Structure 1
Amino acid sequence: MTDQTPQQLIDELDSLLDVERAALVSGDLQKLEPLLAQKEMIITKLNMTADLERETLEHVQGKVSRNQILLDSAMEGIRAVAARMAELRRVRKGLDVYDQAGRKTRFATSGTPSLEKRA
């Protein structure tokens, strides 16, 4: 990637954004870290380009925005899963109830949790 023209950089970024989108849509989040490093390198080179016109970047800007929405959704899903898992751990430890006076009492669960399968 030495001495690439601005258009070559834009084309490379464009294809990289397509790969990133595919990884986001398929849920293969492990692919995102190396892609981020490549994107940063290309964007740094584009930022150092003096004769770059805004119109040439409009297409990739749309893809960047699209991928950012997908990434935000993926992060929201990860946060939801983490919150649900924390709630399940809390429930396994015991049950919180309130008495008539509104005081909170915890009843600890005993034994190991088991999973019942039904047909």
Structure 2
Amino acid sequence: MTMLTDQTPQALILALDEILDEERAALKAGELHKLEALVARKEILFDQLNAIQDLEQAALIGVNNKVSRNQELLSSAMQGIKAVANRMSELRKVRRGLEVYNYAGQKTRYTTRGSVRLEKRA
């Protein structure tokens, strides 16, 4: 991380704008490991911007739009991760066996035999 020597509001906003573009690119590419460093850099800039007393809200409109856009991408990424985790959980259950209800309404378990193979589909 390079230190920002120009501490003017415009320079801080431009630096934040660049970080938000990097964050968007990382989210779109699925490079979630890059987000931690980007968040740390964003927090520093947010703190610096919050310390400025006479900051005009109009200067932050573009940045605010990018923050909202990136939040939507992050939410989508989280939903995808949750979906994968749920799918993996279901696959583990299938490997252990199948549970069904019999004619009397009681749960019956059928264990799987041998190795369970997953079929890859395009």
2:77 paired with 1:74:
yes
* Helix, strand or coil at the partner of 1:105: strand
Identity among equivalent positions (%) equals 60
| Partner amino acid, structure 2, of 1:74 | A
Distance 1:49 1:98 in 2: 65
Who is 1:87 aligned against? Answer: 90
Residue 60 (structure 1) aligned with residue 71 (structure 2): no
2:107 maps to which of 104, 110, 118: 104
Quote the Cα distance in structure 2 between the aligned partners of 1:78 and 1:46. Answer: 32
Deviations for 1:19-58, whole angstroms, at most 9, x for unmatched residues? 1000111111111110000000100110011110100000
TM-align CA RMSD: 1.6
Query: Per the alignment, do residues 117 and 13 of structure 1 end up closer, same or farther by CA in structure 2, a change over 3 Å counting?
Result: closer
Deviations 1:44-85 (A, max 9, x none): 110011110100000100000000000000000000000000
Instruction: Provide the residue aligned with 1:38 in structure 2.
Output: 41
From the superposition, tell whether residues 117 and 60 of structure 1 become closer, same or farther in structure 2 (CA, over 3 Å).
closer
TM-score, length-normalised on structure 1? 0.93
Structure 1 unaligned segments of length 5 or more: list them. Answer: none
Measured in 2, the distance between the counterparts of 1:31 and 1:40 equals 15
Corresponding pairs, count: 118
Equivalent residue, structure 1, for 2:8: 5
**Which ranges of structure 2 fall in alignment gaps of 5 or more residues?**
none
| Segments ≥4 residues shifted beyond 4 Å | 115-118
